[in-house]
Structures are given as C-alpha cells and as structure tokens.
Structure 1
Amino acid sequence: MLETSARLLRLLSLFQTHRDWSGAELARRLGVTPRTVRRDVERLRELGYPVNASPGTGGGYQLGAGARLPPLLLDDDEAVAVAVGLRTAAGQGIEGIGETSVRALAKLEHVLPERLRRRVSALNSFTVPMLHTPRSQVDASVLTELANACRDGERLRFEYRDHGGSLTRRTVEPHRLVCTERRWYLVAWDTDRADWRTFRADRIVPTPPHGPRFTPRTPPAEDLAAYVSRGVSTSAYTDTAVIRLLVPAERAAEVVTPSDGVLEPVDDTSCILRTGAAGPELLVVHVLLMGVDFEVIEPAGLTEYIRAVRDRLSRAVD
C-alpha cells in the first residue's frame, strides 16, 4: 500500500488522466478502501485542490478548476518530449503560443534533473527545425476550448465562416482535433445536418454556453488523419484526379503533404495519389510542382489538358 503522501500524488495523477472517477475505481487503482479514498479527497481539498463529488450510481469524483495547478507527474521520456515540444510549438500555427511556450519551458528546465537537461540540450543544439510557415493561426484559447469540449463530451456551439465567407451558426458533438503541417481541424458530428463535418479551427468562434453532455458516436473513420486529408485535399474540390506517381510512397511522402492529397502504396516503384484543385489548370500545376514522373489514371480529360499545356509550353520556347 502506498504511503499517504505518495498516494495523494498518485490520486492527483489519476485525476489528470481522466475527467470522472468512481470511488470504487479509485480505491482499486490505489489499493485502498473507498473510505480511505474519501479521506484522501478531503486532504486534497484542505491543500487547496477543489475535488468535486457527485452522488449516486453514476456519480464520482473530478478535479475542478482552482487557484493551484496540480503537480505534473512525468517520467523521463515524457519530460524530454514536453521540453522539446515547447521549443517547436511556435511553428504549429497557434497564435501567441511562442512567448507562452518560452515561459513554460523556463519553468520546466528549472526543475529538470541534470541528466534530463543534458538530453534536452543535446536535442535542441543538434537539431535544426524546418517548419512550414502557417497559412493561418488559431487562437490558443479557442484551441483549448475545442479540446476541452472533445475531452468532456459536451456539445459545442460556435459561429463558422466557410471558404466563401458565409457565416453560419453550428451545434456539434466534437470528436477530435486533427493537426496538419499548416492548420488545425475539428472533426465533429453536426447535429443540424445529421452528418460528420470537418471544420477549420481558425474559422471557429465559440459561442458559450456549451452542453449538454452526449454519448460519443462511432467515428467516421479509424484513421482520422487520412479522413481529414481526403476532405481538405480532394473532397472539397470539384476537380479531382487519381494519379500514379512513379516513385515509392515513401519518396512521394517527402513532397506530398496531407493537405496536397492522399497517398496509397502500390509497389516498390509507384503509388497512387488522390488529389483535387479548384480547376484543371491548378490541378496540372499542382501535380507538376511535385517534381516526380506520373501517369493520369482519371479523369481522362486531364490527359488531354496536359497535352494542351505541353503544346503551349513548346510554342513558348520555340
């Protein structure tokens, strides 16, 4: 059985990993009786941590918002990952996160053991980040609000401006946030349209209050990254194409981002690219700029358009 001080830290750690805990489950995790759990909860409250309790069979404990930040219990690899992640956070398209990351990193490095400071220092000193410049930035507070709604399973209300500039009001059941190299997206069930939708986070303006709680639905795909990639690179466009790139998928992934299209391995010499663009002209340029040999599978008309572009370029250099 854990000693009281160690058990309290373990209890705080459990509260950080899950929103709601039943007394019986906490007792099982800690190897104590439910009565001991109740006493430990009271000790945390005396220390200034607001632990909320709800009665009944569906009730339990949860850590509420308060004046004190609970201690984070990180193992060595987690601490290094957090420190390195903070240094690169400014390149991820979150508005105002750079200065905040520096402050958080300074606090973290202050308490890191020497062995971990050396690991972080080595990674930072001998790594050169090559980050894409974000096309758009999302406010950090908005991103946090979206993440909290996903975590808590609460309906989310917001105003949304689409690519055409039209403003609509949405009520959704948020599922996950997906981050590409340039943008953040929210995957959610749109209650008014009774279907799954993908929303750009930088176009979302939350309009609280949110709620009520909902029962999570089966997600639209097992691989949400591929699902969002298809939506933003192919499904969103009227002109789409299936292209065979004459390089392995691993090589193609070096020049094709998730926003450019979806890659499907074929063999050691080729792969399939499903992509789209706002018009055949942009589609041809889009594929040409990838810098690899290719063959058009569909649509057939794209091949004729490429021939016309070839002839136009030949006349320009004659």
Structure 2
Amino acid sequence: MTELERLVHLVPYLKSHQGVTVEELAETFGITPARVLADLRVLQFVGLPGGYYGDLFEVDINGAREHGDVFVRNVDALGRPMRLTHDQVASLLVVLQVVIDMGGDDPAARSALAKLQALSLDAPPPVDVELQSGDTAVRAALTRALESRLAVLLAYRPGGRVPQRRAVVEPARLRTDAGFGYLDAWSRARAAWRTYRLDRVDDVTVLDEQVTPRDIPEQLDTWFGDVQHTLSVVVTDGGRWCADYYPTTEVREVDDGTEITFPLVSDDWGARLLLRLGDDVVRVSDPAVLARARALAGAALDHYGEAP
C-alpha cells in the first residue's frame, strides 16, 4: 500500500476508531509506530479546500506522542454527500476516460462516468481525451496479465534506429505521462525495471507463468535503459545549459569547448537539439543527425519564400 492509499484509508478509520493506540494502528496498516506518527503529522494539512482554520482535519499529535492514543476532530465532512464544482466534474471526467482508455471496459469506471455526466444540465460538455496509449488489444492483454499476475512476452520498438525487440517482462502497472501511456515492468533479461511506451508495443503474448509482485521504486530511472545510440556534441560556453536540461551519459571539457554525450532516442530529436543550440554547436559526432538538422532548417527557410 502506497503512502497516499494508506492516508486515504487512515482518515475514515480514525473517525470510527477514536482513541485507537499508535501500536494498534501500526499493526493494522503494517507499518512502524514512527511511520504512524509521521502520517498523523501529514493529516494535519489535509481537509476541505481553502486550508483555513476549520477546513483541515484536527489530530491530537501531542496526545499520540505522550499517551499513545489517537483522537481526531473536524472530520464530519467525510459523512456528507459529495458536492462537486464544474471544474472538479470536468477533471474527474478526464481522469475516468483515461482509466477506461488504459484499463479497458471497466464497469466501475463507466458507471462513475455515466453518473457524473448526468449530474445536471449545467454540467461541463463531454471532454475529448487524446492519449497515445497504443493498440486496444495490447492494453487488454496487459490488463489481463496484471490482474492475473502473469508474465508477458513483448514485441516492441525502443525508438530511434533500434529494430523491433522481444522481451519477457513481469508487468507492474499501466500509467500515463504527458499524453502517453506507459507500462512499468521488471525485465527478466536485464534484471532491472524498464518502462515501455504503449504506442511502441506491437504485440503482447500473455504467458502461463505466475509472477510474484515486486515493490516499484518511487523514482524509475528507466527512460533510456534500452537506447544503444548516443550523440556527442561539442558546444561553446553558451551551449552548456543543455547538459542540465537533457539526460546525459557524459560531460567533459575538450580543447574547443565542452563535449556532451546524450542518449539518442531518434535522429529527429538530435536534429532539433542542434537547431536549438544554433551557433553554439562546434562539432557533432553523428553525420546523419547533422544532415537531418540541415534538412529541417532548409525546410523551415523554404516557408519564408525567396528574398526580394
């Protein structure tokens, strides 16, 4: 259970178990007493929108520390019918449509979506959600594997010049980020976590191999784990900013500037980087990327027409 999930369950539990001890809470939620006290400190900043006195939950932290029992106040809002603003309804509509798009035909999500859409005649209009989440059959197979805790065989394209690959992985979760759908999974071949963009997954075969759930790290540094190509660019002092702005594999000082090496996801990405750096580029390691940058620059200039 994540920290957020635990806090969501903790508030109603405390409301119905006034005076519960810190030790009992630790045993119930499978955490340490120190973690319980830390969660209680967080709850002091949780409550109704506004954040003023009377809006937030009140937790007797001193009593919990000194006497070991926990009392909460001002949690009556949990028993009131939910009242949503138009902005909140619109946000929930978007989230529910993403859940349905990513997880397949989820009856609970569709039921909640229908209820929200029928809230009132003044409700926000339907929202179109454009999500690059790959093929429906791919998502359905991954959802089934996640629900049944089964391994899968992926056929996927890492991007750039790398051809299609196949890998047996243990799916951990489906998620979205910046308009794209992703699968976080444990790669058996690499014995490490990997992230796969769903629109680059061509096929999924669900294997008859049960897997044991693994704890997913809070921060997954897997974005460039399968990128084999790199791009080295020597820049002037004016171009050093890109070493802090983009992921790099090496940064070193050379005679004519600073050489920065990037994982090269695609030639187009490298070309756009060169165009952004402009005159700060001294040397480029990959002729194909340089040629692509020149082609993009030429195409852009063509839009301006011939000079008078």
Tell me if TM exceeds 0.5.
no
TM-score (norm 1): 0.42
